[in-house]
Structure 1
Amino acid sequence: MEGLYHILDSKVSESLIEYEIQLTDEKHPIFQAHFPNNHLLPGFLHIDIASKLLDKELSKITKAKFLQAILPLDKILFIIEKKEQNYKIITKKDNKKCSEFIFVTR
């Protein structure tokens, strides 16, 4: 996953953490594999990127919805709300929700 994205901005408040990232272009191996003629960020990578941004190891997913495709070069906002051992994460691009998931850390 190296080189897939870079962090543009981060904000931390009492109740939320936000990261804005920008994905690399379609030449990255992830996009070449998924799907060769219709490059999309795989759903599991929404979760994996959030885990890496938080520097937390994932224990389980309790809910996940993928609503809109994330494409090469997209700027994505990760909005993260912590609730005890759970994190509710919403991803957005162009102010539209792309995914929403809840995961539990170890």
Structure 2
Amino acid sequence: MILKDTFYTIDALKFEDNVLEATITIDPKHRIYEGHFPNNPVTPGVVQLELVKEILGTQFNRAIQLKTLATSKFLAVLNPVNTPEATFKMTVAQQEDETLKVSGQLSTAEGVCLKFSGIYQ
């Protein structure tokens, strides 16, 4: 995991009835924001998708890779200065071939930032 405990920390993680919920806090002073963008930090979409992968890896205690991204819709800016706390809510179904079929969203107090679905292995 390349971002955990440097870019973000996991404050809560719960997996029940195939629903994974995670609350994280993002560091608004992380070096990612030096270039994206100075004085107006915006979390890149690729970083948001990496967060999904890392949270899945933490829950299932294994390395996780994205196999197929079916949908990804970025609906709002994820700015950690305004709202450093974010919440993931994902439905996770383990397939016969050990892949994970995942769909969910990332939101802050300001609203939904990302909706996504895909297959992870």
Q: Same fold (TM over 0.5)?
A: yes
Q: For each residue in 1:14-60, what CA deviation from the matched residue of structure 2 results, as whole angstroms up to 9, or x when unmatched?
A: 130100000002x3111112112421100111110110111121112
- Deviant stretches of 4+, over 6 Å: none
1:20-59 equivalent positions in 2, closer than 5 A: 20-25=23-28, 27-55=29-57, 56-59=64-67
Alignment RMSD = 1.6
Establish whether residue 17 from structure 1 lines up as the match of residue 20 from structure 2: yes
List runs of 5+ in structure 1 lacking aligned partners. none
Q: Give the Cα separation in 2 of the matches to 1:91 and 1:70.
A: 9
Matched pairs, number: 105
Q: What is the percentage of aligned positions where both structures have the same residue?
A: 23
| 1:80 alignment counterpart | 90
The TM-score normalised by the length of structure 2 is: 0.79
